[in-house]
Amino acid sequence: MKKKRSKAKGWVLDTPKATPTVPETTTALLNRRMEQFINDALKPMHIKPPPHKLDMSYIADIYSKWYRHYVYLCSKYNDNSPDAISPSFEMKFARLEYVADDRYNLSYMRHTGQWFELHKGITLDDCMNVIKGDGNFYP
């Protein structure tokens, strides 16, 4: 009977994937388009007057911010509870990863705190349509 030979184990070099640099023109265009999208679509849909009941959190603002080659859509919640640790807190609910010219990977924040990528390589207009219509992107 032949003996099975075990495969030799060794170290393997794992190089991180190269992240694209976002051109200044793309950054400026995306900031302008996101600001318009947030003001015209997301804020009227999600921001309501503060509730009269205590012990409730409510959305006070929606905005975008950059980190490296990611654009995050964030919602600022105010907490009017007397026991609140902080009067407000931030939640990220959507992430656009810059891939190439007018191509983005779109992810949403799961209840587990992990980002889940739904779409790869879609345009900015498609990203906005998905964010507006898909229930996963609720702020």
Please give the Cα distance from 67 to 49 (Å, whole number).
30
Host H or E run for residue 105: strand 103-109
How high is the pLDDT of residue 2? 64
Predicted local distance difference test score (pLDDT) of residue 134: 85
pTM of the model: 0.80
Give the number of residues written for the chain: 139
Give residue 3's pLDDT: 65
Is the separation of the CB atoms in 119 and 130 below 8 Å?
Answer: yes
From first to last of its 139 residues, the chain has per-residue pLDDT tens of: 666 666 777 788 777 777 778 889 999 999 999 999 999 999 999 888 887 777 788 889 999 999 999 999 999 998 887 787 888 889 999 999 999 888 999 999 998 989 999 999 999 999 999 999 888 888 8
Q: How far apart are CA 76 and CA 93, in angstroms?
A: 11
Distance CA 29, CA 125 (A): 12
